[in-house]
Amino acid sequence: MSALWRTAALVVALLTAPTALAGRPCTSEPPTVAEVQQGLALAVRTEAALQASGASVVLLARAGQDLSAYRLRWSHMGWAYRQTDASGQTSWRVVHKLNHCGSDQAQVYGQGLAEFFLDRPWRYEAAYLVPTPELQARLLPLLQDDARVLRWHEPRYNMLAYPWATRYQQSNQWAIETLAGAADEGASDRPRAQAWLQLRGFTPTVLHLGPLTRLGARATRANIAFDDHPNDKRFADRIETTTVDAVVDWLQIAHLGGPVQTVR
């Protein structure tokens, strides 16, 4: 029996308690039995795929929100790594950044695959990309170090944070800046990590959001801000931000990772 199934009963017990899940609006409504079953089933399928991949670290993505209006397939990503216990059993752990209860704050979490997929995703589907062996070797010890993995973390959260500023940070931005820090020892802080990404051609996604949309979002959502975006781009309704789709495209163009694999 896999480590994933051995912990499933505990996960279900925790999730059926009246608590909020990190990264989602606070609610006292627990997940349904069907949601738990679908989330666990996706976790099991993903574990099997990752075990067969031969990788030690992968970029792992989920479809937490419906972003099809922006032609985006995935909403959230983290770094998943293989770990082996004293008995030789292997399992996968995901390190990712989550915004709590729609607030303007976020934290970096280490979770199992079951927890990663039990956050009421929009679509029960996953994707992963295997980085180059060299990049995996650099990422693995970093992800296992709770102190080092926070070096590029900014707690002030903005869902649409500007990729080339440091006032805020969103989840996908933390993941790619951490990648930069792992790949280059000189990228020891956020500005240097962003410079490394620019030098290597990372191109963020451009969302076309008009003034009324921006005003409504800013007035009603604590986790959305636009004051870190350059005025010339903001007033031209061009909001640049870091998306999973942009990251996986760039990793392949930059020859830093292989093709995207989908788990359904």
pLDDT above 80 for 24: no
The domain of 53 spans: 3-263
Give the whole-number percent of the chain exceeding pLDDT 90: 73
pLDDT above 60 for 98: yes
Q: In this structure, are strands 123-129 and 261-263 parallel, antiparallel, or unpaired?
A: antiparallel
> What does the pLDDT look like over 153-174, one tens digit per residue?
999 999 999 999 999 999 999 9
Identify which has the larger pLDDT, 98 or 100.
98
Which residue has tokens 């788990």?
263
> What does the pLDDT look like over 192-249, one tens digit per residue?
999 999 999 999 999 988 776 776 666 667 889 999 999 999 889 999 999 999 999 9
**What is the predicted pLDDT for the residue at 18?**
34
> What does the pLDDT look like over 102-120, one tens digit per residue?
899 999 999 999 999 987 8
Mean pLDDT, residues 249-262: 97
The DSSP bridge partners found for residue 128 are 60, 261
Residue 15 to residue 11: CA distance in whole angstroms: 6
Instruction: Compute the chain's Rg from CA coordinates.
Output: 18
Q: Which of 41, 36, 37, 17 lies closest to 28, judged by CA?
A: 17
CB 166 within 8 A of CB 191: yes
Residue 225 to residue 221: CA distance in whole angstroms: 8
pLDDT above 90 for 139: yes
Residue 139 to residue 67: CA distance in whole angstroms: 29
Say how many domains are in the chain. Answer: 1
* Ranges assigned E (strand) in 53-147: 57-63, 76-84, 90-99, 106-112, 123-129
